[in-house]
Structure 1
Amino acid sequence: METSLSRIQSLRLAAVLEDCSDQLDLLEYSLTVQMSRKQGTAAVTCSQERARLTKLRRDCQYTSHQVLKLRSELEEKQSFNSMKDVVEKEEEKKKAGDMERQAKRELQLRKQMLQRQQETFQQKNEELKVLHQLAKDLNHQLNEQTAKTAHTKKTLEKDMELQLTQKESSQPEKLLKDQREKQRKEEVRVHEESKKFLQNQHEELQRQLLQWQQYTNQMLQEKVQQLNSVCCKRTVNADKLLEMRRKFREMEQVVMEDREEKEKLRKQQDEARAATKLQAWWRGCMVRRGLGMYKKTDESKKGKKKKEGKKKKKK
């Protein structure tokens, strides 16, 4: 919907905008002078100040261009639709920038979360490795204990055989058999108890190892699912970001083309006004001096002389 003004209102606004344009030109010139003064120094603060001045000068140039564009529209069409278009484009650029920054922040947060999950997974793997090593150590201890038990059993059997051979001459045969049977039962009982204890320890460690393996596999599957989900979301956000960048470049290209077209139109209008002023000045010079098509003829001179003669006679 176009918004139009009366001729007087548009001329008033154009006069105000012309004054604003002059003020902006003065501000741009002062910024240029300040930048030329800052170029001699190389400190960090001076470089920051130069960057700030450069941005201000660029903003002044852009604002001055928009003011000239609006003034031209007010003078020619008595409307200010170009300002609405500029505001809408700036709002779209701001929204695109906000969305891009939001996407970057979300991506950074997801990277941090994934990194923390990877650290937790590494800790669980280290704990599992420690448990594996502990199980190996316990198995080794079990084997050593079994070997020691077997060696002790053999030693006891040899000792018993020696003792029995030594006592066979002095003790009756029935007593010797009872003692042998009693010693054998004691050895069997001790061996069975030791074996049962070690088997219980081994079963407990195997059960704990199985639980930790199941827990680790479950955690690994969950982390893989989370990683796939994050990768999918990252891909979608990257596609959105690329699409927003493409739209932003297109809008920027349209703005630049419109700016160049308006600048060419302004130059043409300035050249036309300058040519019109120059033609009017030259025409005035020719008229005042009587040159070319404005040259005075002889009849007009004779007419003037007759008029002067009549005036003299009357006197």
Structure 2
Amino acid sequence: MEVRVGAPTGQHLSQVTPSQWHSGAKAGSLPSPAPRHTWKRPTCMPLQPLGICAVLEDCLDQLAILGYIMPVSYEGRTDISNVGASIFKILLFSFLANHLFSRAAKQSAVSSDNLRKVQADRQHASDVIAETLQEMQTSGTFQSLLQAVQREEERKFLHFAFSFREEEGRKEIKSLQKRLQDVKKEKELELQNRNEMIAYLKDQLQEMKAKTDMESRYVKKDTELQVYQTQKKCSNAESDLFNEIEVSTWGPARVNPGSGIRQYFP
């Protein structure tokens, strides 16, 4: 029997997508939980419980065997004294293979966690089937199965709600990270432009200093040259004036070759 709870018509619960949980859910918002159904007490025909009980018992046996041969069941065991001789002979090869797999699974946290999750799901299914089987045998109903389906639906919705919030949180984090990267790039570009401007101003300052030093040296040398030329002109003019005064006063002067003394003759 397949039960559909809170799902669109014609779809099983496992086939319902997150967007179909509630028809009134808007995009980008958390959908509302599916309305709780009031279950009517289901009943079976007189011969149906026998077949259903047989199927449920077979499911329990298969789940028990599956739980026993799963590699996670062997973790932590030091011997196989609790295994019957007949079962040991039948499952010897499977035991050895699973034991090797169990040793490899111990070295991998991911594999071990997955196996534990499968084991927990198997145990949950086994408990639900056992409870349903007991109810079927006593009263011929399967109300507990419907309640388990309802609880599973609510659990899946809560899981979806958490996943939805987590996804929204991831999107918000990515958006903030992108904004942070954009601001960081903008500040880096601004800092780079400022550094380039500082370097340009430093170059301009160095050029101005070099130009000022060159002009200062040029002005200094030009001033010294002008002073020297002026002094030379003054010295020559003074010498010429002194000679004119001597000639006008004493007459032309002659230098005695023997003594080098200047002699004036009126």
Q: TM-score, normalised by structure 1?
A: 0.44
* Cα separation, 2, equivalents of 1:21 and 1:40: 24
Conserved in 2, the CA contact under 8 Å of 1:18 and 1:71? yes
Correspondence 1:60 to 2:133: no
The one of 58, 63, 66 equivalent to 1:19 is 58
Deviations 1:138-160 (A, max 9, x none): 22432342243233223223323
Q: CA shift at 1:60, angstroms?
A: 0.7
Correspondence 1:155 to 2:217: no
Identity %: 19
Q: CA shift at 1:82, angstroms?
A: 0.9
Instruction: Please tell me the residue identity of whatever aligns with 1:7.
Output: C
Instruction: Please tell me the residue identity of whatever aligns with 2:44.
Output: R
- Alpha-carbon spacing, 1:42–1:7, altered in 2? closer, same or farther (3 Å): closer
Deviations 1:59-84 (A, max 9, x none): 21111122233344555454343133
1:143 alignment partner in structure 2: 209
- Alpha-carbon spacing, 1:59–1:16, altered in 2? closer, same or farther (3 Å): same
Instruction: Please tell me the residue identity of whatever aligns with 2:43.
Output: S
Q: CA shift at 1:111, angstroms?
A: 5.3
The one of 110, 117, 121 equivalent to 2:183 is 117
Q: CA shift at 1:123, angstroms?
A: 4.3
3-state SS, counterpart of residue 150 of structure 2: helix
Correspondence 1:98 to 2:98: no
* Cα separation, 2, equivalents of 1:82 and 1:110: 42
- Alpha-carbon spacing, 1:33–1:23, altered in 2? closer, same or farther (3 Å): same
Conserved in 2, the CA contact under 8 Å of 1:70 and 1:82? no
Greater Rg, structure 1 or structure 2? Answer: 2
Correspondence 1:30 to 2:69: yes
* Cα separation, 1, equivalents of 2:102 and 2:128: 33
Conserved in 2, the CA contact under 8 Å of 1:17 and 1:71? yes
Q: TM-score, normalised by structure 2?
A: 0.50
* Cα separation, 1, equivalents of 2:221 and 2:198: 34
Instruction: Please tell me the residue identity of whatever aligns with 1:5.
Output: P
Q: CA shift at 1:55, angstroms?
A: 2.5
- Alpha-carbon spacing, 1:61–1:38, altered in 2? closer, same or farther (3 Å): farther
Instruction: Please tell me the residue identity of whatever aligns with 2:123.
Output: Q
Correspondence 1:128 to 2:128: no
Instruction: Please tell me the residue identity of whatever aligns with 1:163.
Output: Q
3-state SS, counterpart of residue 7 of structure 1: coil
Superposition pairs of residues 142-291 of structure 1, within 5 angstroms: 142-167=208-233
Contiguous gaps of at least 5 residues in structure 1 = 171-315
- Alpha-carbon spacing, 1:23–1:12, altered in 2? closer, same or farther (3 Å): same
1:221 alignment partner in structure 2: none
Conserved in 2, the CA contact under 8 Å of 1:24 and 1:64? yes
Please tell me the root mean square deviation across aligned C-alpha atoms, in Å: 3.5
Instruction: Please tell me the residue identity of whatever aligns with 1:26.
Output: I
* Bigger mean CA deviation after superposition, 103-112 or 128-137: 103-112
3-state SS, counterpart of residue 42 of structure 2: coil
- Alpha-carbon spacing, 1:23–1:56, altered in 2? closer, same or farther (3 Å): same
* Cα separation, 1, equivalents of 2:153 and 2:60: 22
Deviations 1:31-83 (A, max 9, x none): 15554525984677666554443222122111112223334455545434313
Conserved in 1, the CA contact under 8 Å of 2:57 and 2:133? yes
Instruction: Please tell me the residue identity of whatever aligns with 1:2.
Output: W
Deviations 1:82-112 (A, max 9, x none): 1331331232133134224414532552354
Q: Tell me the number of residue pairs that the alignment of Structure 1 and Structure 2 aligns.
A: 170
Correspondence 1:85 to 2:124: no
* Cα separation, 2, equivalents of 1:43 and 1:78: 38
Instruction: Please tell me the residue identity of whatever aligns with 2:223.
Output: E
Contiguous gaps of at least 5 residues in structure 2 = 1-37, 78-98, 238-266
